[in-house]
Amino acid sequence: MSNILKHAERELSLIGYDGKDEYNNMAKAAIMELLTTFANQGHSGFSANYVSDIFNKLARFETLSPLTGEDNEWNAVTEMSGDRKTLFQNNRDSAVFKDDTGCYHIHAIIWVGETGDTYTDKKSCGYIKSFPFTPKTFYVKVDKDNNILDTEEYNKAKEYYNL
């Protein structure tokens, strides 16, 4: 067994992936299968970091390059009523939308409450200034009445997006 697999076995058992829980057993098998493939590829220190970083982003459905805003990046989601026409969702980043008001990222701001709880609301949307564009999320602390406590981080969000 390779060193990376021995390391994984030891670390997984330290957090309870020790064969006693069915869900943990399935997760451990999946993790070990991925690590076995990774170990069999024979990566060096550089390529291991390079491959695992890109794999991690892709497994989380993150983009590897900026969004272009071109027509082929958008899927029609729904026809809207009233003055608004069609809502489009970006097919590279599912948190980016486009309608007749512009293009926006629905997770531009994640609000962080006093106890560490996080949430989004309508004020979390940030309108994209121009393309190419890389979505970015800002974590802004608020008090119990939703007053902004972290004005520095909020100002960074305002510089990055039209809020």
User: pLDDT for 2-14, tens place per residue?
Assistant: 899 999 999 999 9
What is the rounded CA–CA span in Å between residue 9 and residue 32? 8
Q: How confident is the model at residue 86 (pLDDT cuts 50, 70, 90)?
A: confident
Q: Give me the pLDDT at residue 113, please.
A: 97
Q: Give me the pLDDT at residue 84, please.
A: 62
Domain ranges of the chain: 3-59, 71-160
Q: Give me the pLDDT at residue 78, please.
A: 82
Q: Give me the pLDDT at residue 160, please.
A: 98
| Degrees to nearest 5, angle at CA 115 with 113 and 118 | 40
State in Å, rounded, how far the first CA of the chain is from the last one.
53
DSSP state of 147: -
- Look up the pTM and report it: 0.83
Q: Please determine, for residue 81, whether its predicted confidence score (pLDDT) is greater than 80.
A: no
User: pLDDT for 108-159, tens place per residue?
Assistant: 999 999 999 999 999 999 999 999 999 999 999 999 999 999 999 999 999 9
What is the rounded CA–CA span in Å between residue 143 and residue 130? 32
Q: Give me the pLDDT at residue 83, please.
A: 64
What is the rounded CA–CA span in Å between residue 144 and residue 91? 36
Q: How confident is the model at residue 82 (pLDDT cuts 50, 70, 90)?
A: low
DSSP state of 149: S
What is the rounded CA–CA span in Å between residue 92 and residue 73? 7
What is the rounded CA–CA span in Å between residue 86 and residue 141? 34
User: pLDDT for 37-80, tens place per residue?
Assistant: 999 999 888 999 999 999 999 999 999 999 999 999 999 998 66
